[in-house]
Amino acid sequence: MQTPHSAPGHVYFVGAGPGDPGLITVKGAQYLEEADVVLYDALLDERLLALTPAACEKIHVGKRGGHKSYAQEDINNLLVQHARAARRVVRLKGGDPFIFGRGGLEAMHLREAGVPFEIVSGVTAAAGVAAYAGIPLTHRDIASSAVLVTGYEDPTKTTPSIDWSRLAPLDSTLVIYMGVSKLAEISNLLLQHGRPADTPTAVVEWGTWPRQRTLVSSLECVAADSQARGIGSPALIIIGRVVDLRPYLDWFESKPLFSKQVLITRSREQAGDLQLLLEAEGAQVGVLPLLQIQPPDDPGALDASIGRLHQFSWIIFTSPNGVDFFFQRLHHLGKDSRAFGGARIAAVGLATAEHLQAQGLHPDLVPQNQSQDGLVEAFSSISLQDESVLLPTSALGRDLLPTALTTRGAQVERVIAYENRPPEPGSVDLPPALQNNALDLVIFASPSSVHHFAALLGAEQTHTILSSTAIACIGPTTAQAVADLNLEVQIQPQESSIATLVQAICTHYQEKPHE
């Protein structure tokens, strides 16, 4: 058993970074993986919570200006209460716990209560958001210093602690947190105290998130321009000549899928890798879980086939799900890949082959045309007379392959390895971009997802939505299901894998950037 990094009865203040979940530190992720309870703020990507153990208690305490939150005293008391119960407590805060948050106040309360704590620094917005906007805070030829300022001081203060008259003349980059609602007031103060009216100024909304927007203006015009563009919080204000470097250093907003609204129609469990790859290319991704992938209600037939795997000449897998659920049952029965004996293995495509390879098996046959039709063609040159073939599929598997192999003289045993069910009525929340018909791209990975999409939305709405957006499909069978709805598929990779699908999507938008 691995030695834990954290200790019971301790509180760990962990900086989550400004938005992108990949910006959390290794140490912060380690503490989340061991947490018994997590108290987390608003404006965090909740995928970070997936790092926690299944039994971890997760408490959303808010802490966003202008929104309902736990009272600070209640948060302090919760931290003490859970630590004294000998739990590993993570206080997950946006950015860095000690920069314009209340990490210092909360840590002081723990010190007074005699509760041990540790601070895990995070990427603060000044560093992370500026970098994602392509703006260096310092540059040896332009700015040798940066000043971090809050635009949202404690309203109970009788005397402001920020002296704008002293900040205005500095030849430094000014970075203002939580100041977008007071942007007109702040810019006027700086202008009154001598900051040049044409000073380059940027406002970055939702920095490091796929929905990031960056407005570049001058100090004199930035408040009006921000209001005209509808810029709101969360936003970071950057004032200084370094803003002029953005056209040369912008990398995030120039990604091929930046700002594209993409819908994945897979189960949440299966959407993860595809979502991460799309977001890495700049897309805003919504998930519509149209498939509930589950083991068969009665695994008896599957178990019987696994018990005599060595008797089959060929075992053919037609999907990654078929591989995963087959091996789950194989392992449940106390067996491993040795149970295959001398049986040869075929995979419908590269994605299925990769799942087999993860189990230590390299398929003997992967057709060039990655589909069931391709498998039929690939087997046309292989003698199947009186050969026994095992075909683990979903309950909705097509008849094409078993029929073709039986015609060739094979003895085909088709067994259900998993169920592919539509979602329960009322169990699916439609992503906002789908509700507003604001999608740029819909991705289908199986014929079932196409059928369930149409069943969920109805024929008329399905045609309205899919006629006004691009459609991407994995595999010709899925593309045919879309064609059966009298709709056109714009993107279909030659290989049936997640990586090639994302590459094909990027290529499509690079060639047709305005679609």
Q: What is the token pair recorded at 220?
A: 């004199």
- In the chain the first and final C-alpha atoms are separated, in Å, by 52
Which residues are designated catalytic? 41, 63
- For residue 247, give the H/E element and its range: helix 246-249
- CA proximity to 481, closest of 443, 446, 440: 446
Query: At 3, which amino acid appears?
Result: T
Give me the residues paired with residue 390 across strands: 315, 413
Q: Is the dihedral of CA 477, 347, 279, 514 positive or negative?
A: negative
Q: Is the peptide bond before 289 cis (omega within 30 degrees of 0)?
A: no
Q: What angle (nearest 5°) sits at the alpha carbon of residue 172, between those of residues 168 and 173?
A: 100
- DSSP, res 100: S
Whether 472 contacts 504, CB under 8 Å: yes
Q: How far apart are CA 156 and CA 393, in angstroms?
A: 66
Cβ-count burial 203-239 (b if 16+ within 10 Å, e if not) = bbbbbbbbebbbbbbbbbebbebbeeeebebbbbbbb
DSSP helix/strand/coil, 417: strand
Q: Return per-residue pLDDT of the chain as tens, 515 residues.
A: 466 888 999 999 999 999 999 999 999 999 999 999 999 998 898 889 989 999 999 999 986 555 567 899 999 999 999 999 999 999 999 999 999 988 999 999 999 999 999 999 999 999 999 999 999 999 999 999 999 999 876 545 567 778 899 999 999 999 999 999 999 999 999 999 999 999 999 999 999 998 899 999 999 999 999 999 999 999 999 999 999 999 999 999 999 999 899 999 877 666 778 888 998 899 989 888 887 778 888 999 999 999 999 899 999 998 888 999 999 999 999 998 888 988 999 998 888 899 999 999 999 999 888 778 888 888 888 888 988 999 998 877 677 888 888 988 889 999 999 887 777 666 677 888 888 888 999 999 888 889 888 888 888 889 999 999 999 998 888 899 999 999 999 999 987 778 889 999 999 998 876 66
Cβ distance 249 to 136 under 8 Å? Answer: yes
Element (H, E) at 463: helix 459-467
| Residues linked to residue 59 through DSSP beta bridges, in sequence order | 39
Q: Of how many residues is the chain composed?
A: 515
Q: For the chain, which domains are there?
A: 11-122 (3.40.1010.10), 127-249 (3.30.950.10), 261-291+424-511 (3.40.50.10090), 295-420 (3.40.50.10090)
Residue type for position 123: V
Q: What share of the chain is helix, strand, coil (3-state, %, to 5)?
A: 40, 20, 40
Provide the 10 A C-beta neighbour count for residue 141: 6
Q: Checking DSSP bridges between strand 235-239 and strand 173-177, what pairing results, if any?
A: antiparallel
d(CA 444, CA 441) in angstroms, rounded, equals: 10
The closest alpha carbon to 42, from 69, 80, 21, belongs to: 69
Please name the residue ranges forming H helices in 87-152: 103-113, 125-132
Six-digit token string for 156: 């109970």
Q: What is the distance between the alpha carbons of residues 425 and 423, in angstroms, rounded to a whole number?
A: 6
Say which DSSP state 158 is in. Answer: S
What is the C-alpha separation between 440 and 283, in angstroms, rounded?
Answer: 10
Q: In this predicted structure, what is the pLDDT of residue 65?
A: 52
The token duo for 21 is 């979940």
Distance between CA 79 and CA 37 in Å, rounded? 9
Do the Cβ atoms of 132 and 218 come closer than 8 Å? no
Alpha carbons 194 and 189: distance in angstroms, whole number: 9
Query: Token pair for residue 316?
Result: 């053919």
C-alpha 143/C-alpha 136 separation (Å) is 9
232 contacts 203 by C-beta, under 8 angstroms: no
The CA–CA distances, whole Å, from 355 to 1, 70, 227, 325, 332 equal: 27, 45, 51, 11, 18
Q: What is the pTM of this model?
A: 0.75
Token digits of residue 489: 């598929």
What values do phi and psi take at 427, rounded to 5? Answer: -90, -5
Instruction: Check residue 115 and give its pLDDT.
Output: 96
Residue 419 tokens, joined: 């169920």
Distance of CA 151 to the CA centre of its chain: 31
Backbone phi, then psi, for 68, in 5-degree steps?
-65, 135
**pLDDT at 2 (0 to 100):** 63
CA atoms within a 13 Å half-sphere pointing along the CA-CB vector of 65: 19
Both tokens of residue 472?
Answer: 């991407």
